Structure 1
Amino acid sequence: MWRIGCHGYYSLLIVVLHVIVLRGSASVQIATANYSRDDFPPAPHFVFGAGTSAYQVEGAAFEDGRTPSIWDTFAHSGRFGDNNNGDIACDMYHKYKEDVQLMVDTGLEAFRFSISWSRVIPNGRGPVNPKGVQYYNSLINELIRHGIQPHVTLFHYDVPQELEDEYGGWLGRKIVKDFTAFADVCFREFGDRVSYWSTMNEANVFVMGGYDLGIFPPGRCSAPFGSNCTGGSSATEPYIATHNILLAHASTARLYKEKYQAKQHGLIGLDILTYGLVPLTNSTEDVKAAERVHDFFHGWFLNPLVFGDYPESMKKIAGSRLPSFTPHQSKLLKGSCDFFGLNHYRTMYIKDDPDSLKTNQRDYLGDMAAKMLSKQGHVPSGQFPIDPAGLQIVLEHLKEVYSNPPVFIYENGQMTYHNTSLDASLNDTSRVEYMEAFMGGLLEAMKNGSNAKGYFVWSFMDLFELFDGLKSTFGLYYVDFNDPDLNRYAKFSAHWYSSFLRGRTINQYLQDH
């Protein structure tokens, strides 16, 4: 998840996106309707779940043949402080049975997780690591045994460091072949029990943070757009990395559809971060700016995957810095997604910024020619405003522009700072208010025709966040990182979610508690 992703990082990312916080009343709509699980379609037609990713929870970073990824390298660069890395994280590698039992206790219908490329294929290509395969087989089998539907992400910010060193990871065209080969192993080993595959997590945010601003792995950027980067070009590399990601997705999707889908009966898609994008004013300039941000932020990936090419506004503004697809590549991309994963946390208000186009030294964000503004309202610092209308805007946009594809809300949740006080951490009423509102907003969108197929809370438990490591949290379960046993404790949000999943209405549970 993008804290703005996994997740303390969401607030920080907002800052680097040139966000101006607008004080005053936000568009807060807390759902108080007496809805329940029964108001949504039953599983498996619609599922409620929660998510994590490999580096953020597994730990065992140097065990059983796993080698470093770019996220290991990034975390060990000292960006989060001493000993703030994912070497141990939640130690789910050893505690997965305990964690699956917590999922059962919660009543989860589905669980989203990622597979560590460098755990399965330590060199990035070549020999497969049997112990890595064994771990994921064990996890998947444990989920299936308890009736929990696995949703697997193949790439969550963790290119094997060896491939990064050899040819620049996503900057090198060789990665298309190597990623497809990695996916082939996963489909072959796990596909008989996995029906939902996402090739990439938050692909748009990954390239923005990793290759323009330098705040995500692999930490590449160029002045004046980013700092503390050892190399990169903010003007070109986000576009190059995106192009190779899209080609890798197309190659992987073709492999799955031609070799596995008929027998395994699964679906394959790609995940992006979304914002509800609203013009700051009714002016023509702001309305056009909001459309342009839609193109740059969402359409950058959605348009090639649905229509076979980048948005016209991007081609016009970025010019030769934006790579082109051959007719064959365009054909492979178009319609390659059976569904889309959407990570959604908040609404942004868009103000036109034509001055950003007056310089020849522009990065990807400058090409947008717009400022993204956040209305914080009365929400405490570090938390997201509660505005479910933004999710409804996104789903309506997908319905109108992209023919209403099947979508999973793969990440949605409230950030708080990690507190060493157990009692304070467990009383996460702000997370309940947030989830209640967005689940209610999703229900309204579905009543209006949205083709949503599932809702996943980010995150199942406290974990190593992308932006700030162990300092912030989104978990339903508190993890005591100061305890050698890393004990888990159910927060108020876990109890509330469990009650909802077992058929009690929102009001019933809140009245009793």
Structure 2
Amino acid sequence: MWWKAHGATGDVACAGYHKYKEDVQLMVDIGLDAYKIFHLIESNPHVTLHNYDLPQALEDKYGGWVSRKIVRDITEYAEVCFREFGDRVSFWTTINEPNAFVYEGYDLGFLPPQRCSPPYGYCSRGNSSSEPYIAAHSILLARASADKQYGLIGHSINMPGFVPLTDTKEDAIATQRAYAFNYGWFLNLLVFGDYPNIMKQNAEARMPVFTDHESKLVKGSFDFIGVIHYISMDVKDISNGLKMVYRDVFMDAEIELTGQYTPPSVSFSSNKPLLFPIMPWCLQAVLEYVKQDFGNPPIYIYENGLSLCPSHTLTLENGSNTRGYFTWAFLDIFELIGGYGYSYGINYVDLDDPDLKRYPKLYAKWYSKFLKGRSINLDGVIGLEKNPLSLAHSHFQ
């Protein structure tokens, strides 16, 4: 990855661990009322229990998420957290964006735990043909097995926007396949108790099977859905097998998938970070899709942000059951993909300053006025355009 090639590390990053009191005050000044630390306890903290990196001891002992043994350990871990912090935490997410996690960690293998096999990736261990499905199966069982004592428990899912590249039947079907292999994989289980038929037909024996008991356990095992949305893609069908091509609608660049189970993703340049502009109508379309196809569950937009080169000068109403919105991110930080080459923060962090001073960007000032209900100037702000292409709902149950 770009940041590895440049020797960047997250050892210090934005020093949030040491400067959290200063950061909390900055949040208060901006008008934010929720974050993932206890100093905002009066604002209903949202806590994620697992984000990509499992303790190495569990990887070494039995292979982590590719073993059913992980279900017991994750359940015990969750129950300890619920017991110790349940009186102070209102919202829990067990696993962060599991669909992206299993693709990048078990299919292509460029993120932890770096398991994959040729020709999709060249790791020291793993099987790209089967392990993404196995890991996802374990994640869903672990989520359903984690009991709760306080608060609400949700499932966060990475949700790019997809639209057919053309009005042909082939591209429309490819778009349905993209939704199924990305969102439907998890949402269909949580809402209807089974994997999408289109996945089972294409993956066949690679797809694990739920027992009737497991299906009942997983179905409905959520209080809300966390939406993670950054990128928007046009989809073009390639009829030979499961392959699909996604075209970044901003950069007009085609990206052919190389992974085994073919959910949507993008490739990254080896010498520079890839930037992801936001198309507001695509987030609206994603919310509409979840509303129409999965019963309009409660939604929290957990991640949504604009990636730019670092700088301090950065200048939805559709009936969905959206309860809250989190921008990614509060600060410029060391990103899992891209290191310091990405600048998602609404506050700029001067990495050349020994004190890592924070500077609110123009967007932070605009957002603060918006949150506080003050008059705002929309000059220069891209408006919400209507989606010129309607989503093809596939009803995967």
Give the alignment's TM-score, normalised by structure 1.
Answer: 0.67
- Equivalence for 1:427: 313
- Assess if the C-alpha contact under 8 Å between 1:221 and 1:234 holds in 2: yes
- Equivalence for 2:144: 250
| Residue correspondence of structure 1 range 443-462 to structure 2 within 5 A | 443-445=316-318, 449-462=319-332
Identical pairs, percent = 54
- Assess if the C-alpha contact under 8 Å between 2:190 and 2:219 holds in 1: yes
CA distance in 2, matches of 1:408, 1:213: 29
CA distance in 2, matches of 1:377, 1:236: 32
Deviation of the 1:508 alpha carbon: 6.7
Does residue 79 in structure 1 map to residue 4 in structure 2?
yes
CA distance in 2, matches of 1:163, 1:225: 25
- Equivalence for 1:412: 304
Give the aligned residue type for 2:125. G
| Residue correspondence of structure 1 range 47-446 to structure 2 within 5 A | 79-82=4-7, 84-111=8-35, 113=36, 139-140=37-38, 142-144=39-41, 147-227=42-122, 229-252=123-146, 255-256=147-148, 260=149, 264=150, 266-355=151-240, 357=241, 367=242, 369-376=243-250, 382-418=274-310, 425-429=311-315, 443-445=316-318
Gaps of 5+ in 1: 1-8, 13-77, 114-138, 358-366, 419-424, 430-442
* Higher RCO, 1 vs 2 (CA within 8 Å, ≥6 residues apart): 1
CA distance in 2, matches of 1:510, 1:299: 37
The 3 A distance-change label for structure 1 pair 463 and 169 is same
CA distance in 2, matches of 1:490, 1:154: 29
- In the TM superposition, what whole-angstrom CA distance separates every residue of 1:143-186 from its partner, at most 9, and x where no partner exists? 12xx4331111111121111112111111211111111111111
CA distance in 2, matches of 1:386, 1:466: 19
- Assess if the C-alpha contact under 8 Å between 2:277 and 2:307 holds in 1: no
- Assess if the C-alpha contact under 8 Å between 1:211 and 1:232 holds in 2: yes
Alignment partner of 1:305: what SS?
Answer: helix
- In the TM superposition, what whole-angstrom CA distance separates every residue of 1:195-248 from its partner, at most 9, and x where no partner exists? 111111111101111111112111222111124x22221111111111111111
Alignment partner of 2:159: what SS?
Answer: strand
Alignment partner of 2:354: what SS?
Answer: coil
CA distance in 1, matches of 2:58, 2:353: 35
- Equivalence for 2:391: none
CA distance in 2, matches of 1:178, 1:486: 38
Alignment partner of 2:235: what SS?
Answer: strand
Give the aligned residue type for 2:22. E
Give the aligned residue type for 1:492. L
CA distance in 2, matches of 1:326, 1:319: 16
Query: What is the root-mean-square deviation in Å for CA atoms of aligned residues?
Result: 2.1
Give the aligned residue type for 1:79. K
CA distance in 1, matches of 2:107, 2:252: 31
- Structure 1 window deviating more from structure 2 (96-105 vs 301-310): it is 96-105
CA distance in 2, matches of 1:163, 1:386: 37
- Equivalence for 1:498: 368
- Assess if the C-alpha contact under 8 Å between 1:200 and 1:271 holds in 2: yes
- Equivalence for 1:124: none
The 3 A distance-change label for structure 1 pair 465 and 385 is closer
Deviation of the 1:273 alpha carbon: 0.7
Question: Which is helix-richer, 1 or 2?
Answer: 1
CA distance in 2, matches of 1:466, 1:409: 19
Gaps of 5+ in 2: 254-272, 382-397
CA distance in 1, matches of 2:55, 2:115: 16
- Equivalence for 2:395: none
Deviation of the 1:483 alpha carbon: 3.0
CA distance in 2, matches of 1:189, 1:336: 22
- Structure 1 window deviating more from structure 2 (181-190 vs 302-311): it is 181-190
Deviation of the 1:509 alpha carbon: 8.6
CA distance in 2, matches of 1:178, 1:408: 27
- Assess if the C-alpha contact under 8 Å between 1:480 and 1:487 holds in 2: yes
- Assess if the C-alpha contact under 8 Å between 1:375 and 1:385 holds in 2: no
- Assess if the C-alpha contact under 8 Å between 2:159 and 2:183 holds in 1: yes
